[in-house]
Chains A and B, each alone.
Chain A
Amino acid sequence: MNILIKSATILDSKSEFHNTTQDLLVENGVITQIASNIKNPKNYREIAFENLHISQGWFDSSVCFGEPGFEERDTIKNGLKTAAASGFTAVAMNANSNPVIDSNSDITFVNSKGAHHPVTLLPIGALTECSKGEHLAELFDMNTAGAVAFYDYKKPINNPNLLKIALQYASNFGGLVCSFPQENNIAGHGVMNEHITSTTLGLKGIPALAEELQVARDLFLLEYAGGKLHIPTISTAKSVALIREAKKKKLDVTCSVAIHNLYFTDAVLTDFNTHFKVLPPLRIQSDVDVLIEAVKDGTIDMVTSDHNPMDIEHKKIEFDHAAFGTIGLESAFAALQTIFTTKKTIDVLTRGKSRFGLEQTPINIGNKLNITLFNPDLRYTFSAKHILSKSKNAIFENTSLKGSVYGIISNNQMALNN
């Protein structure tokens, strides 16, 4: 791939051209020149967009694409297309398929589906067989096939001894163990955050305590067992405090937060709209405020769209029966920009790569080109026409957002919108 990118503002703190507007000459996928006005040497394709900004390619540590087994929700092919159009050059895909991705051959299948695409698809294997929480899956074998982490998607590890053993066992090969932060006995049959809104609606609440107990337990286990722990999608202020303490103790723990948990509170649920039914649930403003600060100060390592397409049959039903989850890739960048500055947004979208086995790719001469192209200033109302996923369960629908994506250039391929 030989291209000339014209007049791009580079936002990459690892680049010596950070915060400057430059042309970039790319030959065979490698950046060969960065300068203010490069002449097109061999009639290369020129890439120019209004108010073009570029950064290192974005990463999302938690997406679901339905396949195999839930193709009515989405497919890997369409999921990757959605990721590319939304600015992501790498996504880690959860194992919540049918069958659950819990073996070497399953990982190989996912890899084959994601091969030769501008978006790097990183498979996450299940931690336990069929994600049933009973027996460890063949973690080493999956690791060999390319699994970047092990996670029973949204399923708490109820047995603490199982998590202890998983941490110890995976540490043999540096495997990353993920534990969903929810104590199920406390959570009960809750469908939203336990607070004044759940009380008003008569819906069963999931107390913040359910999450915090599990986080505290998991951190104790990590301290005892060693290993690498990732706690996906925390949602409460106390969880932040617990993880901050653990990091002070130098425990090898990372965590993420879903973008919608940074944006919405449970107050949006007043009319039982199932698009807002997510897990962990939307919490209260004081939690949101602490989560945002924790993203800024790095206590929360990464943000995720927690992209989970869900077909209408699982959403257009009574709130109690509706499935948890929302799509989020399409709105991720523009939603973050309503919370953070553009600089901070880019920072959080490019964090966490090394935790999931990805290299950083600074925009410097001699490096392979791995970038997201975007316009940070465009304001619009996110609506059905912006949804690329097969399922339309978008929590950000009808929300006013800021920033649009032109596409990505990665893996020596381009995926540009229009």
Chain B
Amino acid sequence: MSELSVNHLLGIKYLNKQDIQLIFETADHFKEVINRPIKKVPSLRDITIANLFFENSTRTKLSFELAEKRLSADVLNFSSSQSSVKKGETLIDTVNNILSMKVDMVVMRHPNPGAGVFLSKHVKASIINAGDGAHEHPTQALLDSYSIREKLGDVSGKKVVIVGDILHSRVALSNIFALRLQGAQVMVCGPKTLLPKYIDKLGVKVETNLLKALNWCDVANMLRVQNERMDISYFPSTREYTQQFGVNKELLDSLNKEIIIMHPGPINRGVEITSDVADSKQSIILDQVQNGVAIRMAVIYLLASKIKQ
């Protein structure tokens, strides 16, 4: 099989195992490309991509833009920290206005869950979800799995714990879907206030003791506490959060094995992980960033090849 089963990348839950395999194999190729002296291929010279960011983003936006440019696509950037609704224009209108400039593909980040799904039903373009509220962030989950695969050889059978604010996290949800699809065991760990009540129904283990979770896992994916998504206080203070759910070097060294530390960024140093952990040899945080470009190149390339058909 050499093409994706989907025309959009709206979430991991819409993919199958073969899709992920294909994306990884394609990313392998692009990872080789971006490490060449000339880091660019002419594959998408006839494709125009709009990056629509209705929510603040630095690294995801840069990563997508770089991926698009490395594929020689024409790139259009639109950022608005305010939602389109507040400005009085609907999302469909905003996007259709941009599409009327003959855009083939839309990469969208949006604060509302399902915004990408909604758009895919109402506009004619291939949509890549770059994060929609607390729903999904599929390229992040793909690059996370890709990084685990790179480090440990395979995702299947590995034990991965996702630590922190699961309730507000699209990264957690996409990771759960992606890891389970590939046969990994998944645990979530955090204060009960930040774990969705029915998260266990997604087939994940639930743990509120960080030490137990770390002793269980091969990989710990540390999430940032998303204060900006919280309408109420879910724990008394950051200090208390760190006391219970922060990973420091001492804790890491006390484990009976060497686990891998991941983080989707941006890191709150000293909160979810300390600097010495983030910068340790067990951390693959910067590998994740580099793999992000390769994965996004792969996704864009594979979806673009469906447009061309």
Contacts and interface: CB of A to CB of B under 8 A. Distances in A.
B1 interface: no
Contact of B117 (A196, A199, A271): A271
A200 B115 contact: no
A313 B199 CA distance: 33
Contact of A201 (B111, B113, B231): B113
A197 B111 CA distance: 19
Nearest to B54: A318
A128 B267 CA distance: 49
Contact of B135 (A196, A201, A316, A321): A201
B250 to A, nearest CB: 34
A317 interface: yes
B2 to A, nearest CB: 28
B136 A318 contact: no
Contact of A196 (B13, B121, B201): B201
Given A200-B202, A318-B115, 7 more contacts: A194-B198, A201-B114, A202-B113, A202-B114, A204-B134, A317-B90, A318-B118
Contact of A199 (B90, B133, B170, B202): B202
Interface string B82-106: 0001000011100000000000000
Interface in A313-352: 313, 316-321
A194 B197 contact: yes
29 contacts: A188-B231, A195-B201, A196-B198, A196-B202, A199-B173, A201-B113, A201-B114, A202-B113, A202-B114, A202-B132, A202-B134, A202-B136, A202-B170, A202-B173, A203-B113, A271-B117, A272-B114, A316-B90, A316-B122, A317-B85, A317-B91, A317-B118, A318-B91, A318-B110, A318-B114, A319-B112, A319-B114, A321-B85, A321-B112
B133 A202 contact: yes
Q: Which 4 A-B pairs have the closest CB atoms?
A: A202-B135, A272-B114, A202-B134, A318-B112
Interface string A197-235: 011111111010000000000000000000000000000
Contact of B199 (A199, A204, A271): A199
A231 B177 CA distance: 40
A272 B118 contact: yes
Interface of B: 13, 85, 90-92, 110-115, 117-118, 121-122, 132-136, 170, 173, 196-199, 201-202, 231-232
Nearest to A321: B85
A272 B116 CA distance: 10
A374 to B, nearest CB: 36
Interface residues of A, number: 23
A319 B198 contact: no
Contacts of A189: 231
B8 to A, nearest CB: 12
Nearest to B135: A202
Contacts of A317: 85, 90-92, 118
Contacts of A194: 197-198
Contact of A272 (B91, B113, B201): B113
Contacts of B112: 318-321
Contacts of A321: 85, 112
Nearest to A317: B90
A320 B133 contact: yes
Residue of B112, B170, B201, B232 with highest tally of chain A CB at under 10 A: B112
